[in-house]
Structure 1
Amino acid sequence: MHKPTILGAALLGTALLAHAQAAEDWNLHGQLTYIGQRKPRLNSPYAGPNSLLAEAETSYSLTATAALGLRLGPRTEVYVNPEVAQGRPISGLLGLAGFSNGELAKTSGSQPKLYRARLFARHTIDLGGDAVDLASAANQLAGATTTRRVVLTAGALSVLDIFDNNTLAHDPRMQFMNWAFMTHAAYDYPADSRGYTYGLAAEYIDDGWALRAGRFSVPREPNQLQLDNRWRRHFGDQVELSRDYRVGGQDGTVRLLAWRMHAAMADYADLLPSAGKPLPLDDSVRALRSKAGLGVSVEQALSDQLGLFLRAFAADGKTETYAFTEADRSFSVGGQLRGAGWQRPDDVIGLGLACSGLSARHQAYLARGGQTFFLGDGALRYRAEQDAELYYRTALAPGLSATADVQQIRNPGYNADRGPAWFYALRLHWEQ
């Protein structure tokens, strides 16, 4: 680490002062997203209580978010995001690992619900290096910082605001809609049933390198809304190391993510008696346990119009899904192409392929008729779930876009006896 000097501090102050007039004291941004989706009838010789339904279905989601930022000091800001959501999920949000609409939360309902999505503070400690301009955006005030800095964040937010921030496959409001592309499907990151949590995170950023660590609240019970703030016993920890690089004059980033959760969870091995039906998943079989996983994410530009991404993640697979979706290992790959080649520079086409799998004991539990929070066909001819998604997003006006999207999911719910399932969607998105 470079040692600060009086001259260095003076130069740093001068560089940041040159940007001071552009700094915002406050800003206000917003977004509105509507997704309408249809699933035709799928092949289903049998089904269970937690299956993707065989009949044709329609679904929708609508979210509206305001993002207010306020500067409390030269390096300290606070942000609040009130949000309204409503929707009708396909099959009650059951029967899949890669659900087809990332805007549908586990608490979705047909009546609009207003809630606080984010309320957090951010403090930045500039350590030197070149000046960096920050543009005005949702949850970011325009201003200046440096290439070497420490960023501290505390409050209510999404873990994915900080970790695994892949720029090509991250946001179901603008990019891929399927859960398998929002992040690693096997990354059971801490969140309530809407995808938010409380926590603390620290980031050290140094000229292309970044080290991030954070501890966050987990739900009191798996996949539920109420969070457990007993951080010494129940918590989710994550550490991520990332490196920006250039190959052939094009930018790339690689991220290595480690995660550990400590909470009251059931172990599938304890739910499988020597004969007969498995035990049900409830509090009587839950005990304080840990689960962990490790993943890598790479994104690479091939030109100023084309970028590719790859993700791979493996969790230990011993315990039940706690906060995200049912996968013990996952892999995804895809790309995004901008439309300058066909005179539509603001249009984007994206193609992604994902594959998710279960541990042997997770498979055995479902094969013997067990029901988990998301899955339960009553039987199982196991195969990895395979998700393919293609979308085209076209710009209609400044801040307004429309997206046509098609998905095919093979072996829905890891069951080769069912499917494939097709999903067709239209998305309208406005942001300012």
Structure 2
Amino acid sequence: MAAGGLRTWALALSLALAGATAALAQDSGSGDESARKPVTPERWAVHLQGTDILQYYPRFTAPYAGTNSFRAGPAWGNTVDATLYAGLRPWAGGEVWGNLEMYEGYAPSNTLGAAGYVNGDGAKVGRAHAYARIARLFVRQTVDLGGEADDQDADLNQLAAHRSKDRLVFTAGKLNVTDIFDTNKYAHDPREDFLNWSMIAAGSFDYAADAWGYTYGATGEWYAGDWTWRGGIFDLSNVPNNAVLTSDFHQFQLVGEAERRFTWNGHPGAVRLTGFLTRGNMGRYDDAVALAQRTGAPADTALVRRYASRPGLHLGFEQEVADGIGVFGRLGADDGRFESYEYTDIDQTAQAGVSVSGARWGRKEDTAAVAAVVNRLSRPGQRYLDAGGLGILVGDGKLPHPGAEEILEAYYSVALAKDIHLTLDDQLVVHPAYNRDRGPVNVIGLRLHLQH
């Protein structure tokens, strides 16, 4: 466990007890009360999560390395985080939420070495000692439009409430773009399901975010029957892959999504089409390579940045195919002429997987799942890496033999207690950072997760 990790979990457990006491004290109902139908609306709530991830990979083939490479190994990584969630309902249909988040530790190779990185819960800013930040601070307003009831259960950043199936939802403040866009029941949260970075959302979804995954923005959602339309505008970092956001939205991102929910043989499913347009100062790969050829220095997109647009589009689905068995997939692409701005160095992606509830063998709180991902970088991006360029997470100094990055991940999550899960995870990364000369890398992980 990372230095101070025991202190972190002691704090987490203390906060959990405090949250439980608060939950019992409030007369609006929470915890088991949220299971009642219809739900009892909450006026306020306090929740907590804590996650400790320990990972290891043995030595692998690596004839050369660069600044952003996986170290040849063997290597360990340990990240710890804890979040305190506090929400209240100041008026009808309104919710105000704030999240205080603590981070500590380093992921393997300090969150570098693969575009589909192996720890999606590890911030890009690793530190040996614990530090805290305000992760989210936002207001949400729900406006009922009538129709049948579709009550909202209590959850993290969500108060139990009565609502109609047809409604408008407006959200503004500091949040994570994937709180609202490209959600997926089976592959979306590295604290609970798959750990790999490129399964939190489509790997090509270069969504606006600072180094911790959060940004400022505003969204609107229109729920009409089995359809939902979403749109939002978000602030970008002042330069690509930076910890500081712009102060005036002069660099921004637009995101839109259409979702269709349905049932198949009595089992729920959904399809989502998501698009984004990034507007900001970004470097064109071929411009950086051309400059490097003239100067003899390694390619660097920072030297050729100009105000430009970078669009992307992806399709995702989730479908329960039998009781306790669900499948999912995503397929996406973006404009590979320009550098990735915020997320990771992926221009095309395809993923598919299956998740099985332990209820099928008498362990209803357990989950077993497996998924495969194929990520690709554009040809201009490959030329850039071969010219010594560095991406957000990748850069081996050269790339004479580029190829697709292929990832296979499997995990089993076992419920140790009502609010505590232990997960054994294994990831095989073939051609990490699109490099056929290096790897494969086999990363084994243990995740301890508390959520109340």
**Paired amino acid for 2:376:** G
Q: Give the aligned partner of residue 288 of structure 2.
A: 271
Report if aligned partners of 1:187, 1:324 keep a CA contact under 8 Å in 2. Answer: yes
Give the fraction of aligned pairs with identical amino acids, expressed as a percent: 38
* Aligned pairs for 1:93-172 within 5 A: 93-172=111-190
> Out of 406, 430, 434, which is 1:410 matched to?
430
The TM-score with structure 1 as length reference comes to 0.93
Q: Give the aligned partner of residue 321 of structure 1.
A: 340
Which ranges of structure 2 fall in alignment gaps of 5 or more residues? 1-36
- Note if 1:195 corresponds to 2:216: no
Q: Give the aligned partner of residue 32 of structure 1.
A: 50
Q: Give the aligned partner of residue 360 of structure 2.
A: 341
Cα offset, 1:428, TM superposition? 0.5
Q: Give the aligned partner of residue 241 of structure 1.
A: 258
Which has the higher mean CA deviation after the structures are superposed, 41-50 or 258-267? 41-50
Which has the higher mean CA deviation after the structures are superposed, 117-126 or 280-289? 280-289
Please give the per-residue CA displacement for 1:320-355, whole angstroms capped at 9, x wherever unaligned.
Answer: 121101001111100100112221111100101001
**Paired amino acid for 1:389:** E
Q: Distance in 2 between matches of 1:382 and 1:197?
A: 33
**Paired amino acid for 1:423:** V
Cα offset, 1:372, TM superposition? 2.6
* Aligned pairs for 1:17-416 within 5 A: 22-231=40-249, 233-273=250-290, 275=293, 277=296, 280-281=299-300, 283-380=302-399, 381-416=401-436
Cα offset, 1:377, TM superposition? 1.4
Cα offset, 1:59, TM superposition? 0.4
Cα offset, 1:371, TM superposition? 2.4
Change (3 A) 1:284 1:341: closer
**Paired amino acid for 2:198:** A
Give 3-state SS (helix, strand or coil) of 2:157's partner.
Answer: coil
Give 3-state SS (helix, strand or coil) of 2:349's partner.
Answer: strand
Give 3-state SS (helix, strand or coil) of 1:271's partner.
Answer: helix
Q: Distance in 1 between matches of 2:263 and 2:39?
A: 32
Cα offset, 1:42, TM superposition? 0.8
Q: Distance in 2 between matches of 1:32 and 1:51?
A: 29
Cα offset, 1:282, TM superposition? 5.5
Q: Aligned-residue CA RMSD in angstroms? A: 1.6
**Paired amino acid for 2:277:** R
Report if aligned partners of 2:288, 2:303 keep a CA contact under 8 Å in 1. Answer: no
Q: Distance in 2 between matches of 1:204 and 1:140?
A: 18
Report if aligned partners of 1:299, 1:308 keep a CA contact under 8 Å in 2. Answer: yes
Please give the per-residue CA displacement for 1:114-133, whole angstroms capped at 9, x wherever unaligned.
Answer: 10000000001100011122
Please give the per-residue CA displacement for 1:21-72, whole angstroms capped at 9, x wherever unaligned.
Answer: 8111101111011000001111111112221111210001111001111001
Q: Distance in 1 between matches of 2:189 and 2:299?
A: 35
Please give the per-residue CA displacement for 1:267-302, whole angstroms capped at 9, x wherever unaligned.
Answer: 112112284646542643211111011100011110
Report if aligned partners of 2:284, 2:301 keep a CA contact under 8 Å in 1. Answer: no
Please give the per-residue CA displacement for 1:130-149, whole angstroms capped at 9, x wherever unaligned.
Answer: 11221111111111000000
Report if aligned partners of 2:279, 2:308 keep a CA contact under 8 Å in 1. Answer: yes
Q: Which has the higher strand share?
A: 1
**Paired amino acid for 1:368:** A
**Paired amino acid for 2:333:** A
Give 3-state SS (helix, strand or coil) of 2:360's partner.
Answer: helix
Q: Distance in 1 between matches of 2:259 and 2:440?
A: 36
Q: Distance in 1 between matches of 2:298 and 2:396?
A: 16
Report if aligned partners of 1:281, 1:372 keep a CA contact under 8 Å in 2. Answer: no
Report if aligned partners of 2:430, 2:440 keep a CA contact under 8 Å in 1. Answer: yes
Which has the higher mean CA deviation after the structures are superposed, 362-371 or 209-218? 362-371
Give 3-state SS (helix, strand or coil) of 2:393's partner.
Answer: coil
Report if aligned partners of 1:278, 1:370 keep a CA contact under 8 Å in 2. Answer: no
The TM-score with structure 2 as length reference comes to 0.89
Give 3-state SS (helix, strand or coil) of 1:83's partner.
Answer: strand
Give 3-state SS (helix, strand or coil) of 2:382's partner.
Answer: helix
Report if aligned partners of 1:180, 1:387 keep a CA contact under 8 Å in 2. Answer: no
Report if aligned partners of 1:257, 1:295 keep a CA contact under 8 Å in 2. Answer: yes
**What is the count of residue pairs matched by the alignment?**
414
Q: Distance in 2 between matches of 1:382 and 1:24?
A: 53
Q: Distance in 2 between matches of 1:297 and 1:425?
A: 27
Q: Distance in 2 between matches of 1:130 and 1:20?
A: 13
Report if aligned partners of 1:217, 1:235 keep a CA contact under 8 Å in 2. Answer: yes
Report if aligned partners of 2:298, 2:388 keep a CA contact under 8 Å in 1. Answer: no
**Paired amino acid for 1:111:** H
Please give the per-residue CA displacement for 1:150-179, whole angstroms capped at 9, x wherever unaligned.
Answer: 000000000000000111000000000000
Give 3-state SS (helix, strand or coil) of 2:365's partner.
Answer: strand
Q: Distance in 2 between matches of 1:249 and 1:121?
A: 35
Q: Give the aligned partner of residue 10 of structure 1.
A: none
Give 3-state SS (helix, strand or coil) of 1:140's partner.
Answer: coil
Q: Distance in 1 between matches of 2:312 and 2:241?
A: 19
